[in-house]
């Protein structure tokens, strides 16, 4: 399986010694993707299936001549010899009468072997062709599996990064809400506001603190989801410590045409066609060469190999033409194989359209994410400025607590949106890198 993988910009994962188990820290999505290849059971299973397909090719090579045969050895003790009737006159007796005579020998040793080789076997040749296609198909499936796995891992990785950034922001928001609550209490103690305002400030503070708790739980859930995705054991501790900047984006990445899915569909179509041909060829005549040889020893001594008794060899060779009679099952299988091929053709046509549109779709996803991140940055700066102004006005008694809390919540929400959109840009860029690597 050939996969174009560029050199990773950042380092791989770092191992740190823990009190119980070593902790693995991933500072970039590339380090996690690289690590997942060695852990994913889906990827490992793909390699096993590929190896299985290669072994099946060896069997398919033998299926062309399809040699069959047997070597047998038998030792027979005739405990009671058969009796045959012979004309008595052959023994000097009266004509028209018969004499009972035991025939055969008590001990018979027989050694024989036979072989059958097909000289004309279209089904075998088609089976060999299909085994080669299966190898290519398994390699292609492995690429698709790895590509899908990496895309899902990237999404999970950036979900954690986004939540980590939101957690950092929320910790700052807790400090801001503490300060706002302190200002509100001071104003209440000075008799400038009502108890309801203190309650609202306290509710805002509790809500902000609970948001922090909820984000921490979400991060734990995402780590569990990531472990399930990568088949990482529960006892193995991992940590995401992203070092990529969320505010600086490179120039627009170039998206290369990726035909992995289309090539895989083409291979499946070829396999379906080969299977249809194989079903049709099973109704064709088959020409075979056969040979058999036998050696037999008859004796009365009872010895397994009596050197004093002669062996009597016999042999024959020949050609056999087998013309199968089509059964209902054969006709049903042939019909099914035909329509499977027609459906595979349609699937290939559909996949070709998807592959041609994929580049445009990836570009659009990236541009959309970048546009959203740019707008959200401006919105956050404006929301932050508004909150700061209303906080100053509230401190001076020129604005209500309700207005100030609204501006605070708007600032918090806009910052969450900013972080989420920035991470979406990085995820879109990573998917472009994966698209360009695995093809």
Q: What is the pLDDT of residues 336-395, one digit of tens each?
A: 999 999 999 999 999 999 999 999 999 999 999 999 999 999 999 999 999 999 999 999
Q: What is the pLDDT of residues 152-171, one digit of tens each?
A: 999 999 999 999 999 999 99
Burial of 247 (0-12, 13-18, 19+ CB in 10 A): exposed
CA 224 to CA 56: how far, in whole Å? 38
Q: What is the pLDDT of residues 222-243, one digit of tens each?
A: 999 999 999 999 889 999 998 8
Both structure tokens of 1: 């399986």
Q: Greater confidence, 14 or 232?
A: 232
Selection from 43-52, 106-115, 147-156, 295-304 with the highest mean pLDDT: 147-156
The pairing of beta strand 286-299 with beta strand 107-120: antiparallel
CA 312 to CA 291: how far, in whole Å? 17
Across the chain, mean pLDDT equals 87
**What pLDDT is stored for residue 308 in this prediction?**
76
- pLDDT above 50 (res 404): yes
Domain ranges, ordered by start, for the chain: 43-66+121-237+246-284+325-437, 69-118+287-323
CA 395 to CA 399: how far, in whole Å? 8
Rg, C-alpha atoms of the chain: 41
Superfamily classification of domain 43-66+121-237+246-284+325-437: Outer membrane efflux proteins (OEP) (1.20.1600.10)
Both structure tokens of 288: 């075979």
pTM confidence score: 0.79
Q: What is the pLDDT of residues 64-108, one digit of tens each?
A: 888 888 999 888 888 888 888 878 777 777 787 887 777 778 888
What string of DSSP letters covers 178-234?
Answer: HHHHHHHHHHHHTTSS-HHHHHHHHHHHHHHHHHHHHHHHHHHHHHHHHHHHHT--T
Listed residue (35, 24, 32, 27) closest to 236, CA to CA: 24
């Amino acid at each position: 399986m050939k996969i174009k993988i560029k050199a990773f910009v950042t380092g791989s994962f770092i191992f740190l010694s823990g009190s119980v188990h070593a902790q693995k820290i991933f500072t970039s999505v590339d380090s996690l993707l690289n690590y997942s290849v060695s852990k994913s059971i889906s990827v490992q299973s793909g390699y096993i299936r590929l190896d299985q397909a290669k072994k099946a090719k060896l069997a398919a090579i033998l299926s062309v001549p399809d040699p069959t045969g047997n070597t047998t050895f038998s030792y027979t003790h005739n405990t009671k010899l058969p009796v045959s009737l012979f004309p008595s006159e052959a023994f000097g007796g009266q004509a028209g009468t018969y004499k009972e005579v035991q025939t055969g020998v008590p001990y018979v040793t027989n050694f024989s072997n036979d072989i059958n080789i097909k000289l004309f076997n279209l089904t075998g040749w088609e089976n060999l062709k299909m085994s080669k296609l299966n190898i290519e198909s398994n390699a292609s499936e492995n690429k698709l599996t790895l590509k899908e796995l990496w895309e899902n891992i990237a999404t999970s990785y950036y979900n954690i990064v986004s939540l980590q950034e939101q957690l950092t922001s929320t910790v700052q928001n807790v400090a801001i809400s503490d300060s706002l609550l302190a200002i509100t209490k001071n104003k209440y103690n000075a008799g400038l506001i009502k108890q309801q305002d203190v309650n609202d400030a306290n509710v805002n503070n509790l809500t902000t603190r609970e948001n922090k708790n909820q984000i921490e739980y979400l991060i734990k859930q995402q780590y569990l989801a990531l472990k399930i995705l990568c088949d990482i054991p529960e006892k193995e501790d991992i940590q995401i410590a992203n070092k990529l900047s969320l505010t600086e984006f490179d120039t627009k990445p170039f998206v290369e045409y990726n035909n992995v899915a289309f090539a895989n569909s083409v291979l499946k179509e070829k396999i379906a066609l080969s299977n249809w041909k194989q079903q049709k060829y099973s109704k064709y005549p088959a020409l075979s060469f056969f040979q058999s040889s036998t050696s037999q020893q008859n004796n009365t001594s009872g010895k397994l190999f009596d050197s004093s008794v002669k062996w009597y060899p016999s042999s024959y060779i020949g050609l056999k033409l087998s013309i199968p009679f089509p059964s209902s099952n054969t006709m049903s299988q042939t019909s099914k194989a035909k329509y499977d091929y027609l459906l595979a053709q349609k699937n290939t046509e559909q996949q070709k359209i998807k592959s041609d549109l994929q580049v445009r779709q990836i570009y659009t996803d990236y541009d959309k994410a970048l546009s959203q991140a740019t707008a959200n940055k401006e919105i956050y700066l404006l929301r932050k400025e508004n909150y700061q102004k209303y906080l100053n006005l509230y401190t001076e008694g020129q604005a209500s607590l309700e207005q100030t809390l609204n501006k605070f919540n708007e600032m918090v929400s806009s910052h969450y949106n900013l972080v989420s959109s920035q991470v979406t840009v990085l995820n879109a860029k990573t998917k472009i890198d994966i698209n360009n690597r695995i093809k």
